[in-house]
Amino acid sequence: MDLFLWILFAISTTIIASVLFFYPCLAKWLARRRGPIASVVPEEWPTVAILVPVFNEEKFITRKLENILRIDYPKDKLTCLVIDNGSTDQTAEMVRRYPVTLLQSERGKNNAINAGLAATDAEIVIVSDVDTTVEPSAVKEVVGMLHDDIGAVSGLVTLQREKIPYMRSKLRFHVSDWEMRYTEGLIDSACSLDGRFLAFRHSLVPRLPDEAIIDDLEVTFIVRKQGYRCVVSKSTPVFEGCPETIWAEIVQIRRRVSTTLVTMVHYWTMIGNPRYGFFGAVTQPFRRAFALTLPAFVLLDLVVLIYKFGLWVLWVALGGATLLIVLGEVFPFLQFAGIVLGWVEVMLGRVKPGGLWQRIQRDS
């Protein structure tokens, strides 16, 4: 019995160390042997369609459309399609004041994106959330990176500094996470791109599957499955606000975890599969599969140590956790709670296809 417990402890500890330390070190070492991905100016700029799904976004839509109108790209090659997802406020009326195309779709963000994909024949499609803004050069930057074997590019999400008590802790995690996504893109593909500003070749993603749960991770898998890379553009910052309360933060993490888990089930044959390069063989297992089960491994280690050495181990662990919180390292605990609740959502069958969403932060 003791031998079995120690074997479990060794396996669990190895997985924890791999997720938190060995995988990042390996990725950074491999990336050092690759140069940065250049944004190339093409002989002729391709046609681009920006899709903006909206649902009751009267607080954000004006700022978003003004931001799009400032984009530096040949005007005859750029179109904007706003897809109203059944708004009951003044969103549609406000959109009609701008030189953009307004479409209607069935409820669900993925339905909105599919309506936009069906309505355009642009070579490059950019999906962008309504509450994010980009620099005028953003479209040229990401389009210029869609060359050779690169099929999709995401802007680098940059947090706006909010006056929330755990902001420093969240910022450290956020910067580290996006630096790793960029690093993964140098080797093969990022663990996931981000739907706040996501560009891809229309020919690779003519439509999202009906069973799709979340658009950005779905696009990442679809594009990589066809042999193309998914990368992050460091020179394309996408500015995002933060949830205003701790509970809202946990809810956002819970939603991301639950939708990621279900999407990974849809593409389970790619996870751990060397056919899909570093992305399939290493990135998905360690940055997603093992990372999203980390609370279970931590709990297993704790239970084994308590069983072998007594309850004082629990008190030491609680003391260490308290010290981290006092020092301001709150976000890892919010991540822990969000992951656990995300698993609960999946096990209760609450994650449904279609991409219905409810905004966490409502203030402009």
CATH number (domain holding residue 136) = 3.90.550.10
Domain count, the chain: 1
Question: What's the pLDDT score for residue 364?
Answer: 40
Which residue is associated with the tokens 């890892």? 332
Please report whether residue 307 resides in a domain: no
Please report whether residue 337 resides in a domain: no
DSSP secondary structure letter of residue 46: P
> Which range of residues forms the domain containing residue 218?
48-245
Close Cβ partners of 246 (under 8 Å, ≥ 6 residues apart): 166, 330, 334
Q: In this structure, what token pair is assigned to residue 118? A: 């069906």
- What is the per-residue burial (b if ≥16 Cβ within 10 Å, else e) of 223-239? bbbeebbbbbbeebbbb
DSSP secondary structure string, 208-228? --TT-S-HHHHHHHHHHHTT-
Please report whether residue 253 resides in a domain: no
What percent of the residues of the chain are helix, what percent strand, and what percent coil, each to the nearest 5? 50, 15, 35
**45 close to 143: Cβ distance less than 8 angstroms:** yes
**198 close to 127: Cβ distance less than 8 angstroms:** yes
User: Which residue positions in the chain have pLDDT lower than 70?
Assistant: 1, 161-163, 354-364
**272 close to 358: Cβ distance less than 8 angstroms:** no
Please report whether residue 117 resides in a domain: yes
Question: What's the pLDDT score for residue 39?
Answer: 87
**194 close to 157: Cβ distance less than 8 angstroms:** yes
Count of beta carbons in the 10 Å neighbourhood of residue 260: 23
> CA dist 270 to 50, 53, 176, 214, Å?
29, 29, 25, 17
Question: What's the pLDDT score for residue 190?
Answer: 97
The C-alpha atoms of residue 221 and residue 229 are separated, in whole angstroms, by 10
Question: What's the pLDDT score for residue 309?
Answer: 87
pLDDT tens, position by position, 136-169: 999 999 999 999 999 999 999 887 766 677 788 8
Secondary structure of residue 169 in the 3-state scheme? helix
Question: What's the pLDDT score for residue 38?
Answer: 86
Question: What's the pLDDT score for residue 114?
Answer: 95
Question: What's the pLDDT score for residue 361?
Answer: 45
CA 223 remoteness from chain centre: 15
The C-alpha atoms of residue 161 and residue 241 are separated, in whole angstroms, by 8
Please report whether residue 353 resides in a domain: no
Please report whether residue 234 resides in a domain: yes
Q: In this structure, what token pair is assigned to residue 60? A: 């954000």
The C-alpha atoms of residue 28 and residue 263 are separated, in whole angstroms, by 27
- What is the per-residue burial (b if ≥16 Cβ within 10 Å, else e) of 170-181? bbebbeeebbbb
Which residue is associated with the tokens 């479409």? 103
> CA dist 93 to 57, 87, 100, 101, 102, Å?
11, 10, 12, 12, 10
Which residue is associated with the tokens 């799904």? 53
Please report whether residue 189 resides in a domain: yes
Please report whether residue 277 resides in a domain: no
Question: What's the pLDDT score for residue 362?
Answer: 41
**270 close to 280: Cβ distance less than 8 angstroms:** yes
